[in-house]
Each structure stands twice: as structure tokens, then as C-alpha cells.
Chains A and B, each alone.
Chain A
Amino acid sequence: MAYITIGVFLLVSGLLLWFFPDTSILEYGYAELNGFFNLTPFLFMFLIPAITMRSFAEERREGTYILLASRPLTDWQIILAKYFACLLLILFALLPTLLYYYTIVQLGMPKGNIDGGAVAGSYIGLLLLGGAFAAIGVFSSSVTKNQVIAFAVSVFISFIVYSGFDAMSKIFALGLLEDVFIWLSVNAHFQSMSRGVLDTRDLVYFISFTLLFLGATKLVIGGRKW
């Protein structure tokens, strides 16, 4: 299951980046990775829920959660273990894409003409974004015993926080609400990191975003009646 998800991610991102003419770097003509970094959040939006949907929903359906709950483990240990297991998979999905970076470095004219700082920032941003989506996914999985619902809910929440808040800020352009929605938007913080500037505000945003959803998971798991 995990290997397939990683495989699909690499296949789709590879196809879109190097093969399909509309999005291909080769057609585009500029040796840069922006296309990849703009694309991956949308792939993550579907792939991370696929990774996380099992985490609690399946345990509820199969009745196996009681096996964990009757061991000397705290709720936080269980939640964080599941969360980091998902995060590790995301990391493994991202690692092979460093090959794209190497390729672009080789393709540059002159060779090696690439903004390394921006790429590093983007990768850290992707990882934090993946971490935030994974927290959404783990939370969605904890509220239902149906994996399909868990998947749908987490795709929806991820989409809202990534694109929805952006769109909202445009609706309320030129007001206080615009700033609020931009500040809430995952996309805005991700873009800011993509420029290669590691701002603590973005870091704090992603970490508190993740903690918020893991905390909500704790509330659901702690008050369980199943």
C-alpha cells in the first residue's frame, strides 16, 4: 500500500514534469523546479490522505484499537507514532525527487545555474506542508470508521486550507479579512518559504497548524466510545 502510494506519486510527478507537454520542464525551456514545487502540493492533497486514511479508521472498524489502548501507551504516544510513520513515508516519497534537482543542475545554462536556496526552502516547505496535511489526515481518520470518508474529509480540509483560504482572501480584497485569510492560508506560507527565506513566522505557522490538528485528534481519541 505504502509503496504503491509512493510509486504513484513519483510516476505522476515524473510524467507531469518531464513528459506531458503542458507542464514539462523540457518544453518550458527554463531550467528551474518551480513547476514541481507548484504541482506537488496538489499531488500531496490526494496522496497524503491515502496514506493517513487507515491510521485510526481501520483500527475502529476492525476493533483493533483496543489492542493499543490496553497497553501501557499514552494517547499521545499512539497519535504521534502514527503521525510520524506517515511523515516518514512522505519523506521517502520526496527523497527520490532530489534526482530532479540534480537533472536541472546539469541542464542549466551555464551548468549549475539554479537558485539552491530557493530549492532548499521549497523542500523544507514541502515537508512542512506534508506534515500539516498528514495531521489533517490523521485527524480525519480519527473521526470516522470508514476509510473512504476519512479520505474525502481530509482531501476537502486540505484543499480548503491550501486553495480555499487563498480564494477567500481575494473575495474580501482590501479589507481586514483579506489579511486574515492570507495569514491562514497554507499556500501563502508555502510560497513564502519557496522564495528561499526561512521565516520563523512560517515555521511557527506550520508547527502550530500541525499541533492544532493533532490536538483535535487527541480530543477525539480521548473521548472515544468505541
Chain B
Amino acid sequence: MSIQVEGLSKTFAEQKAVDQISFTAVPGKVLGFLGPNGAGKSTTMRMLTGYLQPTSGTATLGGFDTQRESLGMRRILGYLPENTPLYTDMYVREFLAFVADTYQLHQPKLKVREVIERVGLGDEQHKKISMLSKGYKQRVGLAQAMIHDPQILILDEPTTGLDPNQLTDIRELIRNLGRDKTVILSTHIMQEVEALCEQVVIINKGKIVADSLLTDLKSKHKTDSLEEIFRSLTH
């Protein structure tokens, strides 16, 4: 179940937010999707989920076209949107049970229990989402993205606002998910890319400026510092 993006573009009014980008993501290799703020990362991810309609080009997730076969595609997709929007007046378990229902999962109660265990929400599971700290909200966001055991995960800045301990936990979780699933994550924390990703796609002003394995990228630019590479490519 891979992700294939071909010539994807999105134009808002006059501005080209995403301009003819193409790349492929495969299972087992976490893809880091990098770029400065406003480069078009979130717009691209929203197109991948079928939420935004591309101006031109196609994206295919696990063989499903994101526009024409959107419903089938959404069954195998787990998505964590930017800023982790959640229904904050619901309780954690209530919200996850609702999400489980939208996928019509068998044994939803069991799935909710499992996912709470996996993301480490055990102590907070009876609270209201609005009562949770940022890190725990982030975990609820991850839980809703993976409750149906999706083959493809799209995570938009999954680790913003986490403390170092939580960061380690969440990265470990994503790394485990990435072993057999296709994972795309966006971030602008370079250590995160080093820690998690095998493949890197860098975009700047809507265009792809790098798409290769992390190791290849480093040897090509003859430096070990991803930060330097990022600056030289996006400046």
C-alpha cells in the first residue's frame, strides 16, 4: 500500500500553493515531508486525504484515487490534521468510540481500549478532552488516526508542543507504525527527521527541491547536518 503523487498542484486564487509535485512513499520507510512555514506542506497533505480538491494532478493511496475513489481510500487512511483539532467537549473514550463507529469497526470497545493502551492514555481516559494537556491531546489525535489500524498514515506535525519525554514516546510509537505501514509526517524539527525518517522530501514555495533517501541526501551535499542542507535548499 503505497502513496503515489503525480504532478499535484493547488492554486488558491492567484497564488500557487503547491506546484507540480510528484513523489512516492512506500511501506516500511517513514517519509519526512519538510519545508519552511507556508511552503505548502499542509495543503499537500489535505489533498492527499481527499479533503481539498487538487487544481491538477493526481494522488493515489493504496491504489485508490483520492478524488474518484475517496470513500475506499478513507477506509485505509489514518490522518492527524495540523494543530490536532478535536471535539473538546467530549470525553476521551466517548470520542474514540465515536471515531470507531465511523469506521464501523467490530468490537469497538476493544479497539478503543487497545488504542488507549498503545498511545499511553491510560490515566487520562476518563477525562474530558478539553481538560487534557497539549501532549495528551496530541495522543488523542494519534489515537483517532490509528484506531482502525490503517495501512497509510498521514501525520501533520505530530510532535509540536510535546515535552522531551513525550517526544520520545510518540517517536517510538511512530517508528513502530512505520515498520510495516506507509507513513508520511511533516515537521520542521530536523532531529526528528534524523530520528524517524528514511526518506526525505523537501518542498519550498510549492516546489520539490529534494526527494531522496536521507543517507543519499547527506552524501550528495557532503555534510552530516540536515539543517545546513535544509537552509541551502530553501533559502
Contacts and interface: CB of A to CB of B under 8 A. Distances in A.
Contacts of A71: 74, 99, 102-103
A70 B83 CA distance: 15
A220 B75 CA distance: 24
A79 to B, nearest CB: 15
A107 B63 CA distance: 70
B172 to A, nearest CB: 25
A63 interface: yes
Interface in B57-97: 71-72, 74-75, 77, 79, 81, 83, 85-88
Contact of B51 (A64, A69, A72): A69
A67 interface: yes
Interface in A96-135: none
A50 B99 CA distance: 26
Nearest to B84: A63
A69 B102 CA distance: 11
A66 B88 CA distance: 15
A70 B71 contact: no
Contacts of B178: none
B17 to A, nearest CB: 12
Contacts of B49: 66, 69-70
Nearest to A66: B81
B148 to A, nearest CB: 9
Interface string A44-84: 00000000000000000011101111111110000000000
A166 B75 CA distance: 49
Interface residues of B, number: 22
A67 B71 contact: no
A62 B71 CA distance: 24
A10 to B, nearest CB: 23
Contacts of A63: 81, 83, 85
A63 B88 CA distance: 12
B186 interface: no
A67 B144 contact: yes
B54 interface: no
A73 to B, nearest CB: 6
Given A71-B103, A72-B102, A66 B46 contact: yes
Contacts of A64: 85-87
Nearest to B156: A66
A86 to B, nearest CB: 17
Nearest to A62: B85
Residue among A64, A70, A71, A74 facing the most chain B CB atoms (10 A cut-off): A70
Given A67-B85, A71-B103, A72-B75, 9 more contacts: A66-B85, A67-B87, A67-B144, A69-B49, A70-B79, A71-B74, A71-B102, A72-B74, A225-B52
Top 7 A-B residue pairs of the complex, sorted by shortest distance between their CB atoms: A63-B85, A64-B85, A71-B102, A72-B74, A70-B79, A70-B49, A72-B75
13 contacts: A62-B85, A62-B88, A64-B87, A66-B79, A66-B85, A68-B102, A70-B51, A70-B77, A71-B74, A71-B102, A71-B103, A72-B74, A225-B12
